[in-house]
Chains A and B, each alone.
Chain A
Amino acid sequence: QQPVQSPQAVILREGEDAVINCSSSKALYSVHWYRQKHGEAPVFLMILLKGGEQKGHEKISASFNEKKQQSSLYLTASQLSYSGTYFCGTENTDKLIFGTGTRLQVFP
């Protein structure tokens, strides 16, 4: 089952905040977040694990609500470089199933 992301698109001014949500109909063990710039490969942002452990290396935070089977990605004080399409991925029997993506555009 493909996770559902919302919103589908976000337009921001530099310095504004955004939240991207990802929800699944199945129980989640982990949620992966990736960002893809137009014409480029997806790039890993972070993994959130059941139990609260978070693995990542960017200055972007996220939450994982196991009971609600949801994750949210928080982009604060957005920069131009944050523009791109954000995908969440939920694992399902050793496969990573990606959501349809949220397109984020940051303008100066």
Chain B
Amino acid sequence: DSGVTQTPKHLITATGQRVTLRCSPRSGDLSVYWYQQSLDQGLQFLIQYYNGEERAKGNILERFSAQQFPDLHSELNLSSLELGDSALYFCASSSGLAGRTDTQYFGPGTRLTVL
């Protein structure tokens, strides 16, 4: 158990809908990262927050947005969902203190299925 929690575990929805994925980092971690993993694909970095502020951005679609709240939990919002958005979405956290050498601890993921 990494100490990172994600809810829900599974999400099934229809095209065109909007969903929110939630992540709670490990106690004391200030950085939260979001990744997308499609079937048999690698981990695609979406976005990183550090202590409430956006720190780095990857190939995140305009239909996707995220935020980190004062209590450090983070939410990833996916809107106008398409079939291709079906994937495992992982959240990871790190202390944020070591910068590029931070170890990232991954949550169990949210499996999104768009029908």
Query: A-side interface residues toward B, CB under 8 Å?
Result: 2, 29-30, 32, 34, 40-44, 47, 49, 55, 87, 89, 91, 93-101
Contact = CB atoms under 8 A, between A and B. Distances in A.
B79 interface: no
Nearest to B45: A95
Contact of B55 (A29, A44, A91, A94): A94
A56 to B, nearest CB: 9
B114 to A, nearest CB: 19
Contacts of A93: 56
Given A41-B2, A87-B43, A94 B106 contact: no
B108 A98 contact: no
A44 B26 CA distance: 14
Chain B contact residues, majority secondary structure? mixed
B58 A95 contact: yes
Interface residues of B, number: 24
Contacts, number: 55
Interface of B: 2, 33, 35, 41-45, 48, 55-58, 90, 99-101, 103-109
A99 B107 CA distance: 19
B106 A100 contact: no
Given A41-B2, A95-B56, A55 B101 contact: yes
Contact of A42 (B45, B57, B106): B106
Chain A contact residues, majority secondary structure? strand
26 contacts: A29-B100, A30-B100, A34-B106, A42-B90, A42-B106, A43-B106, A44-B103, A44-B104, A47-B103, A55-B103, A87-B42, A91-B100, A93-B56, A94-B48, A94-B55, A94-B99, A94-B100, A95-B48, A95-B58, A96-B33, A96-B45, A97-B45, A98-B43, A98-B45, A100-B41, A101-B42
A99 B45 CA distance: 11
Nearest to A90: B100
A29 B42 CA distance: 21
